[in-house]
Each structure stands twice: as C-alpha cells, then as structure tokens.
C-alpha cells in the first residue's frame, strides 16, 4: 500500500502492523508465478481430513480464515490477512480524528512475541505506564506466546469500564499493569505556541486527515504568532500511517527535491515523490523530535527533512521500518469484505538510504529523560551562602530557571535559543 500505519491494530488495541510506512488501499492483484490450481490438491486434502476427522466441529469460515492467515504467516510481520471485523477496524482507524474504546496500544507479532510498538497518547495504556518495546507475556494470567494474533488481541479488547491485567517484559524485568479500558480521543494533529513565535506541532498518526489538519493548524498558529520564528515538529511515538499523507506533510516544509522513492519487486521503481513549491512553509528553523517508536511514514518525513537539511532531527534512533504495504479488499467473506495487507515495496530517503532495520539516526542524540543531577554540584557554596556577604544593591532576586517536564522538547527549545543568539552574533560581525 502506499501509505498506512505500520500497525494493523493500533489505536483501539489493535495491533499489528497495519499502520506502516504506508498503507495503500488497492484493487485485487493478479496471480504471480505460482499456478494456484496445482497447489489446491494439497489444500483440499488437508481441508478434507480436518472436516472428516478432527475431533470437534470447526466452522467453514474459521477454516478459511485460518488458511488465509497461514499464507501470510510465512511473510514479513507487516503482511497479514484480516477477517471482516479486523478489516473494518483498520479502515475506521484511517478515517481521521475519532473516539476509540479500548486500552490503546499498537502491537506487532514478531515470531512468538507480542511487542508493543507504542501506547497511544492519552489512552488508558499510556496513562498506566506501558512503554514502547514492552513485550506482552501474559493477559489476565494467560501466556499468549502460543496464541494466534487475533486470539491474543481479543483477550486484550473489551468494553469501556472493564479491566485487563497485562504482564510485560521490559529489558528482562517483568512488570504487571492493571488497566481499565476506556474511551479516548485520538487526534492526528495538535499544536500550540510554546513561546512567542515558536510553534510546537505534534503528529500522532498519518490518517486520511493529517495533512489537511496540519495545514489548518499552521495557518492558525502563524496568524496568532504573526509569523513563525521556529517550528518544533514532534513525531515521537508516531507509528506511521498513509504514505501519501507522510509525503504531503514533508512537502509542507520542502520546496523542491525528492521526498521518497519506493522500489517494488525485482527492483522496479514504483514511485518517486517530489516536493512542490505550492503551500511551502519555510524561512524559519525546524527541529523534528523522534524516538524508538517513530516508524514508517513518520520516518519518511524525518528522513526527507534530514536529507534536505530542512530540519535538525533530535531524539533517539527511530524504529526502522522501511517497507510499504498495500491493503486489498477480499470478496467472498460474507456481507463485509476481508482484507489483505501485503508488503509490496521498500522505500528509500532522498539520499538513497534504506532505514529498514536501521532507523533514522538523529543529528542530535538526546535521551527521553534528563541525566541525573550531580550531587556534588548542589553542595558547592555560592556567594549568597557566605556569612556577612554584601547585599545586592539592586535587590536579591530568586534564581529560577523554568524547565519543561519534557526533556527532549526542552532541549529542542534550548537549541533554538542558542541559534537565535548565534545569528545575532553573526549579524553584528
């Protein structure tokens, strides 16, 4: 697809790689080099034995869905068959801002591990303390390592007000979280002026409305600030989304040049997206915040801005998803279609970098939390501590250095302040 979240189930619990470097909803694909009729004999025999001899009755739809999932299980972790319910949830998530019910985590199955890509900001899971990279071991006491993807997700889902207990592995430590499911709003784009002329813009996901929402927000904030002095673009914990939305967002800040190249089967170049001068926001410095949960379409934006020197990338190494998925309607599943999410291409940044398994390396590496304070520093005496010191004839003033709780955002502000000072010094020369 060319654009969608790297997670298939992310927002409500969802899970798995539906949101990716790019989802793209596509028409049915043609058969490849395999002749399906030659392989149907094996499938028919297995199906016949199961129906005739398996100890319990299994519905026809369960058998068919299980067989389809089996085909995608041998592919990469972002390719997946979705039954009608799962597919409907995926399409709903792409519609834009909405209220979701659940615990709010983006999950992927990697071999036999269920890994949390990102908790959704403002969701019950995020408030409980769930972090990116946590590996879910047990759900309500049940070991889920041997469960199918849908079965594991179903155990985590439930109505608002109900509770679920997750036991996760975090760097070798087992932690238990009791989470009350609830309803929470997911906004693709939010922002504000954090200082006069400095805009802070948070993009949580690349849904169908992300670019238009970003355009409206930029206009509103620019009018309020009477022009931007700087912009901080926050892509932390953004699991990706529609590829075309990522391209449009990057185009908002680039006036020319390649944004991303997608290469499909056999090395065939599928597309080369380029920036246009129309509606470009430039003439001010930018810092883009990233972390280990910045993935897919979000990495495309960060990579394009970095390669063109349009923005300094600040934070920690990104997730490293360098592939593109397409989503295909599958008829024959009843009144609602099934879906097939299939990896169809790799993508490359303007400088030809593949971030698959590597991620984007920030220009300025800043951890999420501040380093511990030096206890010796606090013990150093100051002039104000001396007995019989001279008073300040202008009056003693409390020394206060206001700092944001968000360490990486505070560092971005500090860099912007330093650039402003350097620019003034250079102008004097």
Using DSSP bridges, classify how beta strands 286-290 and 312-315 pair: parallel, antiparallel or unpaired.
Answer: parallel
The position carrying tokens 């036991």 is 167
pLDDT attached to residue 192: 93
151 flagged as catalytic: no
**Which of the residues 296, 311, 323, 341 is marked catalytic?**
296
Residue 27 lies in a domain: no
Residue 80 lies in a domain: no
Edge to edge, the sheet with strand 189-195 lists: 189-195, 198-203, 230-234, 286-290, 312-315, 364-365
Closest by CA position to 134, among listed 159, 117, 155: 117
In this structure, is residue 136 part of a structural domain?
Answer: no
Active site residue 296: yes
SS3 214: helix
**Structure tokens given for 198:** 């400095």
Asked whether residue 244 is assigned to any structural domain, the reply reads yes
**pLDDT at site 393:** 83
- Residue (of 234, 244, 230) closest to 199 by Cα position: 230
Which one of 79, 321, 323, 341 is the catalytic residue?
321
Q: What is the pLDDT of residue 10?
A: 38
The CATH number of residue 329's host domain is 3.90.226.10
- At residue 97, the pLDDT reads 58
Task: Give me the pLDDT at residue 13, please.
Answer: 41
Rounded to whole angstroms, the Cα distance separating 248 from 107 reads 26
Report the predicted TM-score, pTM, of the whole model to 2 decimal places: 0.76
Q: Judge whether 312 lies within some domain.
A: yes
Domain range for 252: 186-365
Question: How many beta carbons lie within 10 A of that of residue 245, not counting itself?
Answer: 30
> pLDDT in tens for each of the 429 residues of the chain?
333 333 333 333 433 333 344 555 555 445 455 566 667 788 888 888 888 899 998 888 888 888 888 889 889 988 999 999 888 877 776 666 566 788 988 787 777 788 887 787 778 998 999 988 899 999 999 999 888 887 888 899 888 999 999 999 998 999 999 999 998 877 889 999 999 999 999 998 898 899 999 999 999 999 999 999 999 999 998 989 899 999 999 999 999 999 999 999 999 999 999 999 998 999 999 999 999 989 999 999 999 999 999 999 999 999 999 999 988 999 888 899 999 999 999 999 999 999 999 999 999 999 988 888 777 776 788 887 888 888 888 887 776 777 887 899 999 999 999 988 888 777 776
Per-residue pLDDT at 14: 36
User: What are phi and psi for residue 142, nearest 5 degrees?
Assistant: -95, 125
Q: How far apart are CA 153 and CA 109, in angstroms?
A: 10
Residue 212 inside a domain? The answer is yes
Q: Is 367 a catalytic residue?
A: no
pLDDT at 20: 42
- Which residues, 6+ apart, have CB-to-CB distance to 128 below 8 Å? 177, 178, 179
Does residue 296 lie in a domain region? Answer: yes
Q: Answer yes or no: is 70 within a domain.
A: no
Q: Catalytic: which of 307, 311, 323, 341?
A: 307
pLDDT for 95: 67
Residues 90, 9: contact at Cβ < 8 Å? Answer: yes
Structural domain count, the chain:
1
């Amino acid at each position: 697809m060319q654009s969608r979240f790297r997670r298939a189930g992310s927002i409500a619990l969802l899970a798995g790689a539906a949101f990716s470097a790019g989802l793209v909803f596509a028409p049915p694909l043609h058969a490849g080099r395999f002749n399906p009729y030659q392989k149907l004999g094996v499938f028919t025999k297995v199906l016949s034995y199961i129906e005739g001899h398996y100890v319990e009755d299994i519905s026809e739809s369960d058998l068919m869905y299980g067989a389809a999932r089996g085909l995608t299980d041998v592919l990469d972790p972002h390719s997946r068959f979705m039954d009608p319910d799962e597919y409907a949830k995926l399409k709903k998530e792409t519609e834009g801002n909405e209220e979701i019910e659940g615990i709010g985590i983006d999950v992927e199955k990697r071999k036999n591990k269920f890994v949390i890509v990102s908790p959704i900001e403002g969701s019950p899971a995020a408030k409980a303390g769930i972090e990116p990279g946590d590996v879910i071991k047990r759900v309500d006491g049940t070991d889920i390592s041997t469960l199918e993807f849908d079965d594991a997700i179903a155990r985590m889902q439930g109505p608002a007000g109900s509770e679920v207990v997750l036991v996760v592995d975090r760097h070798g430590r087992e932690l238990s979280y009791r989470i009350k499911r609830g309803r929470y709003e997911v906004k693709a784009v939010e922002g504000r002026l954090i200082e006069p002329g400095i805009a802070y813009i948070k993009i949580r996901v690349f849904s169908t409305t992300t670019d238009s929402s970003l355009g409206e927000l930029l206009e509103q904030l620019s009018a309020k600030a009477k022009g931007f002095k700087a912009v901080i673009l926050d892509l932390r914990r953004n699991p990706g989304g529609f590829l075309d939305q990522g391209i449009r967002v990057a185009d908002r800040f680039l006036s020319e040049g390649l944004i991303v190249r997608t290469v499909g089967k056999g090395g065939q170049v599928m597309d080369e997206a380029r920036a246009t001068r129309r509606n470009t926001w430039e003439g001010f410095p930018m810092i883009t915040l990233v972390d280990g949960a910045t993935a897919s379409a979000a990495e495309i934006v960060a990579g394009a801005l970095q390669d063109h020197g349009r923005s300094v990338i600040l934070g920690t190494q990104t997730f490293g998803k360098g592939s593109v998925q397409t989503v295909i309607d599958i008829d024959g599943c009843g009144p609602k279609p099934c879906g097939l999410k299939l990896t169809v291409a790799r993508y490359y940044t303007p400088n030809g970098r593949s971030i698959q398994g590597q991620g984007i390396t920030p220009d300025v590496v800043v951890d999420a939390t501040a380093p511990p304070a030096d206890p010796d520093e606090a013990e150093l005496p100051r002039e104000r501590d001396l007995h019989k010191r001279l008073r300040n004839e202008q009056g003693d003033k409390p020394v206060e250095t206001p700092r944001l709780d968000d360490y990486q955002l505070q560092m971005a502000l500090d860099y912007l302040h330093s650039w402003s000072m350097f620019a003034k010094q250079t102008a004097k020369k």
